[in-house]
Structure 1
Amino acid sequence: MFITNQEHHMSAKKKQQATKQRVTVSQTSSARGAASARGATSARGATSLKSQASRASWGLGLIGIGKVNTGENKLGMFEYVCGILVFLAALFTYLYTLTPDIGFHDCGDMVPAVVNLGVCHPPGYPFFCLLGKLFISLVPIGNIAYRMNFLSSLFASTTVMIVYFIVVRVGQSIISNSRISCIISGVVSAGMLMFAATFWEQAVIAEKYSLNVLFASLLLFILIKWQNDTRANSKLPFVFAATLGLAFTHHLQTIYIVPASIYFIAVILWNKKQQLFSNSGQIQDSFLPSPRPPRLRVRLFSNSGRIQGGSNPINSPIRLIAAMLACFIVPLLLYLYLPLRAMSHPPLNWGDPQTLPRFMDYITIQAYKHFIISSPAIWLQNAWTHMTTFFPNQFTGWIVWLSVVGLVFLIKYCRTISLLLCLVVLTNIAAAVRYGISNIQDYYLTSFMVFAIFIGCGILGIMKMVISRGIPPAVAIIFLCLPIIPFHAHYKQCQHRAYYFPTDIARNLLTTLEPNSVILIKGDVNGFPVWYQRYVENKREDVALVDTPFLFQDWYIEHVRHNFPQLNVDISPPASPGEELGYVRFRDILKKNVGQRGVYHYSDEPVPQGYAGVPYSFFVKIVNEGSDVLSELKKGDVPLILRRDCPLDAKATDMLRNYAGGYNNRGNNYLGAGKYDLAIHELNRAVKIDANIPVIYYNLGRCYGQKGQIKEAIDNFKHALTLNPNQPGIHKAIGGLYEKGNNPQQALKEYKQEANISPDDVETYLAIARVSLELKMPSETISACEQLVRLAPNNVEFRKNLALLYYQNGRMQEAQAAFQQVLQLSPNDMGARQMLERMQQML
């Protein structure tokens, strides 16, 4: 056979293809062997890596890292309806118990600052002032104080609702198959906060703390919602940052949230990164280094909030943080309100923060640095006292233990949230124990809110156990009755619907004053209600208000000179060496105004030398020494007028006691002038105001005694003893009346009781010696004289009388020693010398 060229070419080509196939098979076989070897090595490495990851995951899991939530729990219509009902229930409660007018605390400072857009006490609360101004302009109900109280109740009611939603949302992530359990737990938690003592008190007055807790609860809610949010375009991180900045423009207590927020945001970002690895098929615990890390670009909410694959893993988180910082900083520009308003010289202008140094001192609260406690021992003592008193007082003693159950439950099922809330409480405590103010319990309101959440989670944990054991969930409805307990415990304390006391007291004080007077105010409780009447209600616009604690500050003198030029206040008055600047300026005001206009200050303040104080009920009018006090007393004859059925809290009771003290002082002045009937009239006024002050009845007894009405005098003295059995002077006064009424036995008994109360009172032992001598009781007389010598060892007459008593009772050696001591004190005493010579002759 013959083979053509074409056929030969085709045969050669087939041979080449066969050869290539053999080579390919050989390469494939080799590659499979290599791959198998590499696979075995990789599998061993992956197993080791996964083991390391598991151990690290357990450690980080202790602080909440590594627990990825892959979806957001949705609230149904029923949950929202219950939340709205919780809000309405809280609002109804607070409106029913709302203070109808201005209250105590800082209300008299905050409300005038809102009305006049002034600068209240540091750090100024610019957001509160602007929001309050808008609210009172848009809501035409009641007077200004009532509107601001109403606004506070809205803040508190919203906080209660947010706490409900926090507990419901946490509950849904744990008990997803029982909506009613989550709702009941949320309602109980909201009810506990709603009726917590301090929270309720703040909800019915125009204070800043309700808004502060609202911000805290809102920030916590946003964080918890962000943790479960899987949307690609979530704006929650920016909402959180802007809300945090806005909260700082209201109150610096927002710092309590910051450490916990930093921790929680870090956990959120880490867990979302872990979710990325899990979704991309990588090892879920991929926070450990990998020999061949995947190329990723982590874009955490820089634009859309998505986490995407790619490169440059550092840029996007930085962009997120930068965007959040921008959202945080922008609201802080509200602090420019302070210098801008200070430039207009409003009626309230604390610190006058126009200049940069004053502004920095103001917003950093330098004026209150003297309240900071530096002793760690006192910090620990305060921490123990606050934890064991404030928290049980809010929720009642045994209910507060449910918060411990809730905390344990959260640690088991929601460790990240439990650590978030614990950090808030710990930061709150660490800050509050270092601050020594009288109303420090108000600084724990954020922690009280967290404890209410813990209590709700405690109920949630119990209900989860109930469900797991097959008990009908309806049994747990009894938990809904728990808020009734704090409601019953705190209702009387927080019922302020007829609380007009601050208003009535301030109006009474202003009514007392002469035209064009000046009040030298000291103290928030006394001054703030007067501020409200003067700067909001425009009562007594002719009266100048001067706060004496600020007189050492140059900015305050400038403020007084601008607002009250008629006082002619000098910023640098002449001073003696060593005199404190504030006192020098105080005396300068007195020098230039006493005699020209009425100058008043509070009755518990001392009157400077060279001046006299005339009691005007709660005030004292300062007059020049030598003035006609009786005529001034008649000018101050103004009765106290209070509305009936006004509940009295501790502040009101203290103020009424001071008011009664003013009438007691008026009675004393009349008593000293011999005007006994006028004195009795003023003292009876004091009794009507406060019938539990012993010194008033003591003075009434003195008045009746001077009038010769022995029975009435003794009755008043004895009534004083029922109020204070150890009141000095009363038994002595009763003894004097018995002695005057020819009843020496009863007088001696009263004098001896006085000696037990006042063992160092010379007059009492003189009275005992005198009556004992009259009753011919030598041993009693000698004993009383010995006490006189003990109290006044250099008194010659006391020693001579004792020596004579020794001599008359045959105690010659003691008499001789006593006369010798008389001669040591008075060598020229001839009587003592003669008695010594006579006794020597007798011996």
Structure 2
Amino acid sequence: MLSSFFRRIDPFAVFAVTVPLAIYLLTLAPSVTFFDSGEFITAIHSLGTAHSPGYPFFVNYAKPFTWLPFGSIAFRVNIATALSAAAACYGVYLLVMTLVAHDDSTDRAMSRYVARGCAMSAALAFAFSSRLWLQSNHDKPYPLVAFIVAVVFWALLRFRARYDKGEECPHYVYLGAFLCGLATGAHQTIVLMLPAFAWLILSRDWRLLGRIKEFLLAVSFGLLGFAIQLHMPVRALKNPLLNWGDPRTLDQFLWNLLRKGYPSDPPHRDAALLWQQMGAFNIPKEFTWVGIGLLVLGLVVSFRRQRDEVIAYFLGIATSLLVIVGYFNTQPDLIFLTEEFFTPLYLLSAVFMGVGLFWLLRRALANIAVEKLTSVPVKVLVGVFILLLPATICALNYYENDQHENYVAFDYASNTFRSLPQGTVLYTWGDSGAFPLWYLQGVERMRDDLDLLHTPHLVFRWYLDAFPHLFSRSMLRSVPESLQSAESALKMAVAEQIGSRPVFIDFSTRYSLPFNEYGMQQRGIAYQLVKGGSNTIYPPDLSVWSLYSARGYTSQMGFRDLDTGKAILIYAMGRLEGGETLLRAGYRSQGAEELRLAAAVAPELRGQVEQMLGAFGLR
């Protein structure tokens, strides 16, 4: 019985999952990272609500991983993302095998083993693409969405195949509808694939439009999956640790679900900006130009017998570009965030690359005698050919995606904590400056004596309600949200608190607003506001630098994203500003040493350091 079970296992499918998972675990971030990481982990740990649109399915998917008996909570959640990414790779394998299953040459030159090898090659190429790899080694919902897209695509292909045989199998459509509804709780970009899914159904038989009963059942299953959104109001009643928007009422639930907390004025778009926005979908970057060649080949050969599948692929691309590029019209400094939305399209691209590779091998082996196909040289040659593209992509991206030593965000947050005296109120500005602090305090229980306040949220009543000891009688409540700005709210809050406890701001807040009415003393990468001291120069407190962990900005880790680079630069700029302040106060040797240390952390500041030293007559 056991031997029969193992004989039924497809080793190529196993490798398509286990090899990516092993690589992801080797390069997994050991703790919290920047961007949304700290917020997601805090929401997952407390089964709360993350930023709009809440991500309830991702939160519930990752929650069981927090019960693993090893590593930090952040590391366990990162494992959840790695597993979902490996599952998405299996989705590629499954789709390639489905698309090539009816090839009439597989009984001779192109054996089923070579077909499986091509499917595995496509799965590995997708696994090692820079976008999926970057999402797999820390907490991200996009691999989960990509996996669901693969399953829905497969279910609809099964529906079409059974329909061609005269079999009525609407349960495949119902499954797809349920998964699409569920996927809205991972990321709403799943709706961009709906036109492609609808095409796969209706292009088989347009008369299906007249089946009202089946249509209503599909909508019902979709709503059943969408019911995962009820997690937000239900959990809001329990006041979880992270309760973004406090969606316990219908108005607040819709505020979160519809992303009303992110007002923005799209920039004026010219040809250069449009090209930059279009560049967020970049297949050559993900799969190299060889991959592009296989993709084009796979689309061409598929168009003959699987035209609707090819059209569905292009519908997904067109819809995504129209919405992400055309409608969103993202500002230049935020375009990099839209790159993640195209992950499902990269998955489908890898599928057609596998089809193209299959066609090439079929042509190459068609004239080889059957007895030679089993020879060792031919097997080795075919194996090399199959693995060449994924191995190349892996080699190109490994160094930059290896995050197993990435403690930058963890150390940045813990170093910030080391800068602050007991009972401090710290105002932050920017997600990456705030979210790692939320994680360390809320999940790892560091510095419970502090109040961490996110300046952009001070305009929202639901946020003030989360700090009743600070804002129950605050003047902030008397100003309507529509008339309040983050800048004025911050100034009002500081004025109310500075007389009773230490008030600090982080580096981003320091350079986002003028604080002419207060003096300022630097403590490492944080700044204490001093009431009535606007005309006094306060030398920086250098003692806190000795308390800092330096691994976050002195390691030779290859991985660098935008905010990791900014964090390292903040350390250097903190040294630079402290050195300049000391020089102005007459502490020449200490000031020069601080400037030297700034240049050591960020060599790109060396010219600025030399210019500053020269201005004070120093070398």
User: Normalised by the shorter chain, which TM-score bucket?
Assistant: 0.7 to 0.9
The equivalent of 1:201 in structure 2 is 134
**Contact 2:30–2:75 (8 Å) recurs in 1:** yes
Instruction: Summarize deviations over 1:305-333 as a string: whole Å, max 9, x none.
Output: xxxxxxxx96xx22212222211111222
Q: Secondary structure at the match of 2:528?
A: strand
The SS at the match of 2:279 is helix
Counterpart in 2 of 1:524?
431
Measure the CA separation in 2 of the matches of 1:639 and 1:133: 34
Q: Is the 8 A contact 1:567 1:589 kept in 2?
A: no
Residue 99 (structure 1) shift: 0.8
- 2:465, 2:471 within 8 Å by CA — same for their partners in 1? no
CA 625–660 in structure 1, closer or farther in 2 if over 3 Å, else same: farther
1:539 deviates by 0.7
Equivalent position of 2:3 in the other structure: none
Moved more, 523-532 or 363-372: 363-372
Aligned match of 2:457: 550
1:79–1:183 Cα contact (<8 Å) kept: no
Match of 1:667 among 579, 583, 599: 579
**Aligned counterpart, 1:328:** 222
Deviations 1:208-235 (A, max 9, x none): 1111111111111211122223566673
TM-superposed CA distance for 1:379, in Å, is 7.8
CA distance in 2, matches of 1:458, 1:702: 64
Q: In structure 2, what is the equivalent of residue 394 of structure 1?
A: 286
1:123–1:363 contact (8 Å) kept in structure 2: yes
- 1:615-630 to 2 correspondence within 5 Å? 615-626=522-533, 629-630=537-538
Q: Is the 8 A contact 1:429 1:444 kept in 2?
A: no
**How far apart are the structure 2 equivalents of 1:446 and 1:374?**
29
Which has the greater radius of gyration?
Answer: 1
Which amino acid is 1:204 matched to? Answer: N
- Indicate yes or no: 2:98 matched with 1:191: no
Give the partner amino acid of 2:223: I
| 1:579-598 equivalent positions in 2, closer than 5 A | 581-598=485-502
Relative contact order (alpha carbons < 8 A, sep ≥ 6): 1 or 2 greater?
2
C-alpha distance in structure 2 between counterparts of 1:410 and 1:355, whole Å: 50
SS at match of 1:439: helix
Q: What corresponds to 2:238 in structure 1?
A: 344
Q: 2:400 aligns with which of 493, 497, 516?
A: 493
1:633 equivalenced with 2:538 (yes/no): no
Alignment partner of 1:174 is 2:125: no
Q: 1:140 aligned to 2:69?
A: yes
Q: Which residue of 2 aligns with 1:728?
A: none
Q: Is the 8 A contact 2:43 2:242 kept in 1?
A: yes
Task: Give distance in 2, aligned partners of 1:682 and 1:639.
Answer: 16
Three-state SS of the structure 1 residue aligned to 2:564 is helix
What's the counterpart of residue 600 of structure 1?
504
- Alpha-carbon distance in structure 2 between the residues aligned to 1:152 and 1:594: 42
Counterpart position of 1:252: 188
Query: Aligned residues: percent identity?
Result: 23
Match of residue 91 from structure 1: 21
For the pair 1:242 / 2:140, whether they are aligned, the reply is no
* Cα drift, residue 657 of structure 1: 1.1
C-alpha deviation, 1:593, in angstroms: 1.9
Residue pair 1:617, 1:660 contacting (<8 A) in 2 also? no
CA RMSD of aligned residues (A): 2.7
Do the aligned partners of residues 78 and 486 (structure 1) sit closer, same or farther apart at CA in structure 2, a change above 3 Å counting? farther
Q: 1:365 to 1:379 in 2, by over 3 A?
A: farther
What letter matches 2:23 in structure 1? T
CA gap of 1:373–1:343, structure 2 versus 1, over 3 A, is farther
Q: After TM superposition, give the deviation of residue 574 of structure 1 in Å.
A: 8.1
Whether the aligned pair in 1 keeps the contact of 2:520 and 2:538 (CA below 8 Å) is: no
Q: 2:361 aligns with which of 463, 466, 472?
A: 463
For residues 374 and 226 of structure 1, the distance between their equivalents in structure 2, rounded to whole angstroms, comes to: 45
Partner of 1:116: 46
| Equivalent position SS for 2:512 | coil
**Maintained 8 Å contact 1:518/1:545:** yes
User: What SS does the corresponding residue of 1:419 show, helix, strand or coil?
Assistant: helix
What is the rounded CA distance, in whole Å, between the counterparts of 1:133 and 1:232 in structure 2?
Answer: 38
Whole-Å Cα distance in 1 between the matches of residues 266 and 151 of structure 2?
Answer: 29
The one-letter amino acid paired with 1:344 is K
Question: Cα 1:669–1:374, aligned 2, differ >3 Å: closer, same or farther?
Answer: closer
Alignment match, 1:51: none
Q: For the Cα contact (< 8 Å) 1:113–1:120, is it kept in 2?
A: yes
- In 1, distance between residues paired with 2:483 and 2:84? 48
CA distance in 2, matches of 1:468, 1:410: 19
Q: Given the superposition, is the C-alpha separation of residues 340 and 372 from structure 1 closer, same or farther in structure 2, using an over 3 Å criterion?
A: farther
| Counterpart Cα distance in 1 of 2:487 and 2:566 | 27
Matched with 1:811 is none
Residues 351 and 555 in structure 1, CA contact (< 8 A), matched pair in contact too: yes
Structure 1 residue 96, shift from structure 2 partner: 0.9
Give 1:568 shift: 5.9
Following superposition of structure 1 onto structure 2, how do residues 281-430 of structure 1 map, counting pairs within 5 Å? 317-370=211-264, 380-382=274-276, 384-387=278-281, 390-430=282-322
Q: Residue 383 and residue 402 in structure 1: after superposition, are their counterparts in 2 closer, same or farther (change >3 A)?
A: farther
Task: State the number of aligned residues.
Answer: 582
Write the letter of the residue equivalent to 2:470: P
Cα distance between partner residues in 2 of 1:344 and 1:374 = 44
Query: Deviation of residue 341 (structure 1)?
Result: 2.1
1:452 paired residue among 346, 350, 362: 350
Quick check: 1:214 aligned with 2:147?
A: yes
Higher mean C-alpha deviation, range 528-537 or range 464-473 = 464-473
DSSP 3-state at the match of 1:386: coil
What is the Cα deviation at residue 631 of structure 1?
A: 6.3
Aligned partner letter, 1:414: Q
Q: 1:158 is matched by which residue type in structure 2?
A: A
**Stretch deviating more after TM superposition (114-123 or 171-180):** 171-180
Q: Deviations over 1:379-398 (max 9, x none)?
A: 853464335xx221111234
Q: Which runs of 5+ in 2 are unaligned?
A: 1-5
Residues 149, 574 of structure 1: alpha-carbon distance in 2 compared, 3 angstrom cutoff = closer
CA distance, structure 2, for counterparts of residue 503 and residue 469 of structure 1: 59
How has the CA–CA distance of structure 1 residues 568 and 685 changed in structure 2, closer, same or farther, with 3 Å as cutoff? farther
Note the C-alpha offset of 1:400.
2.2
Structure 2 residue identity aligned to 1:134: P
Residues 487 and 513, structure 2, Cα contact 8 Å, conserved in 1: no
1:479 aligns with 386
- Alpha-carbon distance change, 579 to 248 in structure 1, aligned in 2, over 3 angstroms: closer
- CA separation of 1:216 and 1:106: change in aligned 2, threshold 3 A: same
Matched, 1:642 2:550: yes
Q: CA offset at residue 156 of structure 1? A: 0.5
Query: CA 1:78 to 1:468, structure 2 compared with 1: closer, same or farther past 3 Å?
Result: farther
Counterpart selection for 2:603 from 684, 691, 694: 691
TM-score (norm 2): 0.87
Decide whether aligned partners of structure 1 residues 141 and 349 sit closer, same or farther in structure 2, where only a CA change above 3 A counts: same
TM-score, normalization: structure 1? 0.65
Q: Taking structure 1 as reference, are residues 593 and 518 closer, same or farther at Cα in structure 2, changes over 3 Å only?
A: same
1:699 deviation in Å?
2.7
User: CA contact under 8 A between 1:432 and 1:444: conserved in structure 2?
Assistant: no
1 CA distance for matches of 2:7 and 2:271? 52
Alpha-carbon separation, structure 2, partners of 1:540 and 1:517:
10
2:202 corresponding residue in structure 1? 266
Deviation at 1:498, TM superposition (A): 1.3
Give the direction of change, closer, same or farther, for the CA distance of 1:409–1:368 in structure 2 (3 Å limit).
farther
1:605 and 1:133, CA in 2 relative to 1: closer, same or farther beyond 3 A?
A: same
* SS of aligned partner of 2:230: helix
